Amino acid sequence: MCYAIPGKVTQTNGNIITVDYFGEAKKARNEFYQLSCGDYVYAQGGFVIQKISEAQAAPILEAWQELFLKLQETDLQFSSHPKNLYQKANSIRHQHLGNACCVHGILEFSNYCRNDCLYCGIRNSNAKLKRYRMGIDEIIDACDYAVNKLGFKALVLQSGEDPWYNSERLIDIVTKVRAKCAALLILSIGEQDLKIYEELYRLGARGALLRFETSNPILYKKYKPGYNLQGRLELISKLNKIGYLIMTGFLIGLPGQTQEDILNDIDLTAKQGAEMFSFGPFIPHPQTPLASEPPGTLELVLNTIAQTRIKHPDAKILVSTALETLDKKNALKQGLLSGANSLMIDVTPIKYRNLYEIYPGRADIEIDITERIDKVRSLLYSIGRAPVDLGV
């Protein structure tokens, strides 16, 4: 794990470098820059994403060093003397990963989808949904704003499985984003031909967010018509072999899911070599066949976060926006204090944001991005977490 703040290169060994952060040494892969000892870099997800000058790095490091120490002291107060499951998990998180909290931007660029998953509001059969797809220039401008104006160092490009974005257009998008944006680029575009993923990796994409949703093959076949679990897992495995950072996980509270299924879901996520565990509650959408089913509960998700942290102390665990939707006031804080250490902020232009309706009532869907950032930063500081992906 490398903090997304400037670090000083202290050692190079082929494409593996050692970076110093306030006396703490971390490893990172360098695939894009000529680097020597003494250079300053940003690293994210174990990859060097930007080289900067010492003059640029010095004031940022000076500001961070004082702030980081204060936040560490606050985090220690929240993670000492655990008395229950959640506090135990949070203490383990603190011991293994410190107080860094990954904050990714996510751009949802199309709500068209060829699939008909029974739990999803953007399913192909939802005729009442107003569809949109962002043009390539719109996507590039939105990424430019998120990275170069707002300071995100990791960015997820997400859509339904929209065939309009063919290999030529996806290549164009990744090429242009990489040219403008020094950030870890993560793709969440569903099941694509492996050759497309190989080419996008060659062009600089380094993360793949592809959830398997359930480890139960019977439930998978039931809720994702036309697909099978094994095919999904094989694709995730192949993406891992290409070199992608894998972000995967499952839905909690699907009808018919058991506690044993959830434990199997946790184990399967780990077996996929996940860089990040991504799971959240099932929330029924009114235009799906599961509209009348009850949602997953906040308690069940918090228990799953805690269980995952205890079983996998070094994991990055996401607090999903779906979890925040269950309790817009407290769920984010509760998730982080139950062992999670990652979150995402929606950077989709506001005119499209409420149309990416996988589930209804998403948290903070109407507020300005800068307001959302300020709100998240304030919460993180209050519990001693460093939102390192946002910069200073």
Look up residue 59 and give its two tokens: 């004031």
Q: Report whether 154 contacts 183 (CB < 8 A).
A: yes
CATH placement of domain 85-390:
3.20.20.70
Classified by CATH at the fold level, domain 7-73 comes out as SH3 type barrels. (2.30.30)
Look up residue 37 and give its two tokens: 């000892």
In the prediction, which pLDDT does 1 show? 31
Residues 132 and 71: their CA atoms lie apart, in Å, by 41
pLDDT tens digit at each of 392 positions of the chain: 335 789 999 999 999 999 998 888 889 999 999 999 999 999 998 899 999 999 999 999 998 888 888 999 999 999 999 999 999 999 999 999 999 899 999 999 999 999 999 999 999 999 999 999 999 999 999 999 999 999 999 999 999 999 999 999 999 999 999 999 999 999 999 999 999 999 999 999 999 999 999 999 999 999 999 999 999 999 999 999 999 999 999 999 999 999 999 999 999 999 999 999 999 999 999 999 999 999 999 999 999 999 999 999 999 999 999 999 999 999 999 999 999 999 999 999 999 999 999 999 998 888 999 999 999 999 999 999 998 754 43
291: left (phi over 0), alpha (psi -120 to 50) or beta: alpha
Residues 25 and 11: their CA atoms lie apart, in Å, by 10
CA dihedral for 74, 76, 80, 86, sign (positive or negative): positive
Residue 388 DSSP label: G
Q: Report whether 37 contacts 13 (CB < 8 A).
A: no
Residues 70 and 240: their CA atoms lie apart, in Å, by 37
Residue 298 DSSP label: H
SS3 108: strand
Structural domain boundaries in the chain: 7-73, 85-390
In the prediction, which pLDDT does 239 show? 98
How far from the centroid of its chain's Cα atoms is residue 337's Cα? 18
Tokens 């918090």: give the residue: 302
Q: Report whether 31 contacts 17 (CB < 8 A).
A: no
Residues 213 and 282: their CA atoms lie apart, in Å, by 10
Residues 97 and 255: their CA atoms lie apart, in Å, by 34
In the prediction, which pLDDT does 389 show? 57
pTM for the model: 0.96
